[in-house]
Amino acid sequence: MNGYITYWSKEYVGELAKNHDTGPMCVVYGSRHIRMPYISSLKIGDIVYPVTVQNKKFYIMSRLPIEKIEPAFDYLIRETGKPHSCLLPDGVFIKSPEKLSNIGEFFPKDSKTGYPAEIFENGLIFIDENGLTDIPHKFHQEPVTCCADISASGVHGSEIFPREVPRELLQKMRFGKTPKTQKPLHFDKDGFPTSISLSGFIRKMSDETLKIFENFFN
């Protein structure tokens, strides 16, 4: 079991509050974006802790033990009813007026239906967006940006709210892929971690740091 942190911006934490999403946390997504970085290093049994920095204070927002890793499309269709602009698997297309022109870029349109005949002839999956129904879900179950690729989920996530980490503990935390490469957080001139140093990557923590994080949920 490994522990990882992922960064939630001040704005995203505000959106969670605005949408009354207090958990339990149940999924994280990976993509090519800084706001939603790759999560290819995650494995079943690992634990993800979203963190944020506000007013020069470091908060642990939640805890999610990973129980299932799958394409974001599979998770979103099953749990929310819609793909929410995630990456579509090969051979899957979404039918909607907005996306018809994009489909036409890859397949010539059939003169009768207006949709590409190749989709039906080759047995590709053609989902009618108008036929999709929203399944009640939490705000954080929708990807924060487009192009979500992988989802990592679980049913034993904690509630979502800020848990402040004392300054003396911040100095003890170490992050990195291996014990030899693990380093402390980057701090500003006042000795507080910066949001820039936390965003853009999902970071593996040392065993000692994992114990520190776990103590906030015991």
List Cβ neighbours of 156 (8 Å cut-off, separation of 6 or more). 24, 64, 65, 67
* Residue 128 pLDDT grade (very low, low, confident, very high; cuts 50, 70, 90): low
pLDDT at 35: 74
Instruction: Pick 121 or 128 by higher pLDDT.
Output: 128
Residue with more model confidence, 177 or 93: 177
Question: Would you state the pLDDT for residue 102?
Answer: 47
Read off the pLDDT of each residue in 87-94 and give the average, rounded to a whole number: 74
More confident residue, 184 or 103: 184
The distance between the two most distant Cα atoms of the chain, rounded to a whole number of Å, is: 69
Joined tokens for residue 139: 């705000």
Between 117 and 23, the higher pLDDT residue: 23
Res. 106: pLDDT tops 50:
no
Closest CA relative to residue 167, chosen from 200, 194, 135, 192 = 192
Q: Which of 49, 32, 5 is nearest to 197 (CA)?
A: 5
- Please give the structure tokens belonging to residue 148: 């979500």
Read off the pLDDT of each residue in 46-65 and give the average, rounded to a whole number: 95
Separation between Cα atoms, residue 112 and residue 114, nearest integer Å? 6
Q: Cα separation of 90 and 92, whole Å?
A: 6
Q: What is the mean pLDDT of residues 166-194?
A: 89
For the ranges 32-36, 110-114, 123-127, the one whose mean pLDDT is highest: 32-36
Percent of the chain at pLDDT > 90 equals 54
Q: Which of 88-92, 107-111, 141-145 has the lowest mean pLDDT?
A: 107-111
Taking the C-alpha atoms of residue 113 and residue 70, their distance in angstroms, rounded to an integer, is 34
pLDDT exceeds cutoff 60 at 101 = no
Q: Which two tokens stand for residue 162?
A: 């800020």
* E strand or H helix that includes residue 18: helix 10-18
* Cβ-based neighbour number of residue 120 at 10 Å: 12
Tokens of 79: 């749990």
Q: 193 or 117: which carries more pLDDT confidence? A: 193
3-state helix, strand, coil in the chain (%, to 5): 25, 25, 50
Q: How far apart are the first and last CA of the chain?
A: 17
Q: How far apart are CA 137 and CA 154, in angstroms?
A: 14
Looking at per-residue pLDDT, the higher value among 41 and 101 belongs to 41
Residue 81: count of CB within 10 angstroms of its CB: 14
- pLDDT surpasses 70 at 110: no
